[in-house]
Structure formats: structure tokens, C-alpha cells
Amino acid sequence: MIESKTIKAGQSSWIARNSARASWSASKQKARDCANNGRYPDEYLYAGGISMTGPGHILNPHRDSSHDKDRECYRVLNLLYCVSPDWSLEKGGNLEVWPEGTKAEPTTIVSRFNRLAVMVANQHSWHSVSKNTSTEQRCCVSNYYFSNHPVGDAEYFHPTSFRG
């Protein structure tokens, strides 16, 4: 990333050359990982990063977008690392997964401090966050892993979509 500052004559081509080289290098790495059926973390934190669920807040059942920002690779793993100290079931703000669909009952995973929840991400991966009934912020750090292969045999594409 280039910060906003004055660029002298001659520097722009150097920047363009090196940006192109960095981009090509990243694409090459991505292609190699994909060719090996590898899974790799999203270095851009597209829809990832730090999330906060404030008091009274809720995140309705949804499935995350199926692909990366360039729609080149499948999002296959969703990682949520819980960082709110002393979190308990009674506070709400817990992760809910819906393995039988959103018309069945969810499985609740308490957002306990230092817990890493790893979910498969595909067209069936409905999940939500229950209402935060506490007076505290529920915080998580999240990221995704990608692959050039879908989870399962069928290809699919969907944007982030909500129910409820």
C-alpha cells in the first residue's frame, strides 16, 4: 500500500512495476496453492477482522458469501476467535450453527474467551449470533480460508444471504 504523499518523477513507474510484480507474485502463490488443493488464509480479511456485538445486538441466521473478493476461489473455512473475557452462555452473543437448516433448532457455541470456532463454509453453513443480553461488548477476530475447490462435489455461488 502506498500512502498519500508526493511522488517524484520516475517513482510512479517504479511503483507500478513493483505493484504489478507483487500482484503477480500473489497470484502465482494463489495459483500454486489452489493447484495443490491447498487452503490458504485470506490475506485481505475480506469480511474478516475484528467484529463486535454490542448489548442488545443480534446477527440473524445467514450464510457467508461463497467466494473471495475476486470470485476466484471458494471460501471453505470460517474461523472465529473469541476474545471477550469471562463470557458465558447467559450473556447471549453466542455463535449458533444450524446444521439441519434454519427451521430446526440451532446448536449454540458459547463465545467463551480464547475459544476458536472453525466452521466449514458452504451453501449449507447457516449461522447466527444470539442476542447479546449483557451490558458488555462481545468481540471476535475472524478470518476465512479459501480453496479453488468447493466443499463437496457440486459447484455453487452465493452472496452473503440472510434469513429471519
- Residues lying near Fe ion in the complex (CB under 5 A) are found at 64
- 8 Å CB contact between 78 and 144: yes
Closest separation in Å from C-beta 62 to Fe ion = 6
Which CB, 42 or 64, lies closer to Fe ion?
Answer: 64
Which CB, 34 or 122, lies closer to Fe ion?
Answer: 122
Nearest-CB residue to Fe ion? 64
**Helix extents (H) in the chain:** 11-35
Backbone angles phi, psi at 40, to 5 degrees: -140, 145
Closest separation in Å from C-beta 56 to Fe ion = 19
Distance CA 52, CA 33 (A): 32
Closest separation in Å from C-beta 142 to Fe ion = 8
Which CB, 33 or 51, lies closer to Fe ion?
Answer: 51
Which CB, 87 or 126, lies closer to Fe ion?
Answer: 126
- 8 Å CB contact between 62 and 98: no
Task: Please spell the DSSP secondary structure of 92-137, one letter per residue.
Answer: B--EEE-TT-TTSPPEEE---TT-EEEEE-STT--EEE--B-SSS-
Closest separation in Å from C-beta 126 to Fe ion = 9
Distance CA 64, CA 142 (A): 12
Closest separation in Å from C-beta 91 to Fe ion = 20
Which CB, 19 or 161, lies closer to Fe ion?
Answer: 161
